[in-house]
Structure 1
Amino acid sequence: MSGKPIAIAVAGAACCALAALPVRAEEGGEPPAEEAAPVFDLGGALRVNFYNKSWEARQKRRSISQNLRLDTAMIDASFVSGRWDGSAQYRFYYYSDGDRLSHFPHHAWVGYRLDERQKLQAGIQKVPFGLLPFASNNFFFSLAFYAGLEDDYDLGFRYSRDMGPWTFDAAWFPMDEGSWSGDSEDSARYSYDIVTDGTRDNDERHQVNLRLARSFALANGVTGEAGASFQYGLVPNGITGRNGHRNAQALHASFDYGPWNLKTEAIRYAFDLENPAGQDDRYVVMGAFDFPYRVAARGAIYVAGLAYAWDTAEETGGLLKSVTFYNDYSYLDKAEDSYSGSQQNVLGAGLDFEGPLYVTLDWALGRNNAYIGPEFTRALASGGTGGGWSSRVNLNVALYF
């Protein structure tokens, strides 16, 4: 990919800064005192999946060992030194079905606090759009993730300002995070972006993001945050030499009441492409994890998730610290009338154990869903085969060190 050298240079600069300034990062914390001694933190994680897919069970009988897979291996580094901080993570994915290995950075950024309320950040970093840090609770995220609108990471610059109950973010991303090591043409990356694949030669450039949110506390004990997000960027086509455009807007709110949490979000998005004559503009090719697929070029995404956090430390003697039960639902309503809508519902629980262990157990239902159903390439565009519901039971065991 043409922008990969830039991504490598910026990510490399961030990693060099991490190595040179040893400090521990606490995301969202107060800036440390200027005289505080730098401390460097190096860690990582290993995650394993055990799953059962309803559509595979119908096609062939699989052994237990065939359903046990390495999910991710990752290496982390972070620091805080006075007004400076930074974080980097590199991930490895191995797909045993195709005997293929893909690896790429999750993020790599360096930040500088102008004062206690303002911060600048540069590198491969999370895009400030929608509910943060996530619009979901489960292992699969929501359908917004698969359209590049949840937990998205790009290469650029971000300005954040804390204004009492208000928070404001403005960001410019000259390019996406780039494609790294894998078998695909342009999809070896963590988060979903427009990619080049075969005869389609589109890309992401010069994305601008604005996000404004306000925290609140109601008299009945309900607290939370509500806000709005805006995104605009270019979609240059390497064949026609013309720039297409893309935009997205979101309204989002999160509510907390005791151990309960409710997440809500509504997103409208559109990709206006400048493809060569004869190419179908009703869908765009997006890719991540070394696999590309089609996504409807225009649509709306609706997200709702309810969670209950149970503090179990006293009852288990600290072995199991907490259990979070949740149900996350999302719906992709496609503007093209001939396209079938996509749905996802995940009922599950996250178990946080004392020490390095975190376990997620999910029962996911999908309809016209690329990752929860038999049709991968067309599911999020025209739809799947037959449009019926599929299910996947997924157990993810993560060890952090």
Structure 2
Amino acid sequence: MLSVMSLGVYSQEKPEVRMGGSLRMNYRYDSWNDERQAEGGEFGFDVFQIETRVAYKKVKAFIDMRFMAENNGGTMLKEGWVGYDFKNGDDIQVGQAQVPFGNLDYNSYSWYLSSLYSMGFEADYDMGVKYHHKGAKWDWQLAFFKNADELFSNDPDIRDDRWSTDVVGDNKEVNQLNGQLLYKIDKENAKHKIGVSAEVGQLYNRVIDQMGSHSAFAVHYSLDAKNIGFLAQAMTYDYNPKGDNDQFVEVGVFNYTYPMVSGGNIYSAALRYKWPVKGEGVLEAVDLYNEFSYTDKRYGLTRTMMNTSGVHVKLGQVSTFIEYIAGSNHPYLGGGDNALYDGTDTGWEGRFNINIGYYF
């Protein structure tokens, strides 16, 4: 954050505004795309991001806007809420806030994130109200989300223009309750978080005007030590949509819609090593990591797997992720649009990816 501005007329309690953001570019080379291989890969614009934080007395606000190419969803709000800080350290947020489910803020260290993101269970942001209690040993969050990040529209042609993965198509997520409980163990050289998360809500079918339901439950663990980071999560989910076929729901993100099996179990683990960086040069951080996720689908459908190996290098304001992402039956990794529902085994495919961002 570079910009700090004070607004108002009161000398002691002026509103404070902090602004920052990033400009990111991306290179990728896909094993399943013959045209891209013939070109030697593809390099292009990823996203321009603007973040704004506002604070005045106990009231605060946060906005994270993303500007992408139209074929990736165009302009979208990732996160945006108004909040209040209580004297005991608790806070409340109203608006488009992160859903308190699983390891937060992310269940991965990579730029590409894990399979949970493609299924709507990582880095999810919905419209509602969230209360967060922050204790010495115990943290808990309770939230009610009226719906996902909608633009006051049920038009299926625009409802997948979003940053978070959510149910789209004929159905939409409404009236969702979330709860999370964390137990914290803080040692001199390591911090542990052991948690459980629960989610229950409704699925409204706008075509036949009927209400279904959905639920998800997870246990999760995170370790933040001197040079080591570790994330683990096991979860189960269940969608019960109304309509002709209750075996799948359509989900969408970044202007991309695909079917997902309506129930299953997902297991994931991620390990990170912070390479020691000495001196006061421009090189600030080198992180090595590997992540794996496994999706066991209902109805005996072929499992989905994903593995990411990479390095994150921070040179001053420039942050670079260099990764090889391998996937089996994954919609983002050569498995086809139906990879999360189709029973066909499409085998393993891979993507070499470099994301370069300048943060200000």
Question: Are the structure 2 counterparts of residues 152 and 101 from structure 1 closer, same or farther at C-alpha, using a change threshold of 3 Å?
Answer: closer
**Of 300, 306, 322, which residue of structure 1 is paired with 2:285?**
322
In 2, Cα distance between the equivalents of 1:168 and 1:115?
17
Counterpart of 2:308?
346
| Aligned-partner Cα distance in 2 for 1:112–1:368 | 44
The answer to whether the aligner puts 1:394 opposite 2:358 as a matched pair is: no
Q: Which amino acid aligns with 2:102?
A: G
The unaligned stretches of length 5 or more in structure 1 are 1-19, 24-33
**Do 2:222 and 2:231's aligned partners in 1 also have CA atoms closer than 8 Å?**
yes
Shift of 1:89: 1.4
Amino acid of the structure 2 residue aligned with 1:190 = W
TM-score normalised over the length of structure 1: 0.83
After TM superposition, give the deviation of residue 74 of structure 1 in Å: 1.6
- How far, CA to CA, are the matches of 2:303 and 2:78 in structure 1? 30
RMSD: 2.4
The answer to whether the aligner puts 1:331 opposite 2:297 as a matched pair is no
Deviations 1:358-396 (A, max 9, x none): 000111000001111151x10111256x42100000000
SS in 2 for 1:144: helix
Partners of 2:134 and 2:37 in 1: CA distance: 55
- Answer whether contact 1:179 1:189 (CA < 8 A) is retained: no
Aligned partner letter, 2:315: F
1:55 to 22, 25, 32: 32
Q: Does 1:378 align with 2:338?
A: yes
Q: Which amino acid in 2 is paired with 1:388?
A: G
| Residue 90 of structure 1: how far off its partner (Å) | 1.3
Is the aligned partner of 1:251 residue 2:212? Answer: no
1:304 maps to which residue? Answer: 269
Give the distance between the partners of 2:267 and 2:229, measured in 1 at CA: 17
Count of residues in correspondence between the two structures:
354
In the TM superposition, residue 335 of structure 1 has moved relative to its aligned partner by 1.3
Amino acid at match of 1:212: L
- Measure the CA separation in 1 of the matches of 2:146 and 2:335: 36
For 1:173, the equivalent position in structure 2 comes to 145
Contact 1:90 1:104 in 2 (8 A): yes
Q: Deviations over 1:24-51 (max 9, x none)?
A: xxxxxxxxxx945432122221110011
Deviation at 1:110, TM superposition (A): 1.0
Name 1:360's counterpart in structure 2. Answer: 321
Structure 2 partner of 1:210: 179
- Runs in 1 of length 4+ with deviation above 4 angstroms? 20-23, 179-183
Q: 1:91 aligns with which of 66, 89, 92?
A: 66
5+ unaligned residues in a row in structure 2: which ranges? none
SS of residue matched to 1:141? coil
**1:265-319 superposed Cα distances (whole Å, 9 cap, x missing partner):** 00100001111xxx221111000111111111000110100101124141xx421
| Residues 177-196 of structure 1 mapped to structure 2, 5 A cutoff | 177-179=149-151, 184-196=157-169
The residue number in structure 1 matching 2:116 is 144
Supply the distance in 2 between the matched residues of 1:331 and 1:100 (Cα, whole angstroms): 26
Following superposition, the deviation at residue 85 of structure 1 comes to 1.4
Q: Deviations over 1:175-224 (max 9, x none)?
A: 1111599993420111011102xxxx1111011000000111469x5431
Are 2:327 and 2:348, in contact at CA under 8 Å, matched by a contact in 1?
yes
Say whether residues 1:263 and 2:260 are aligned partners.
Answer: no
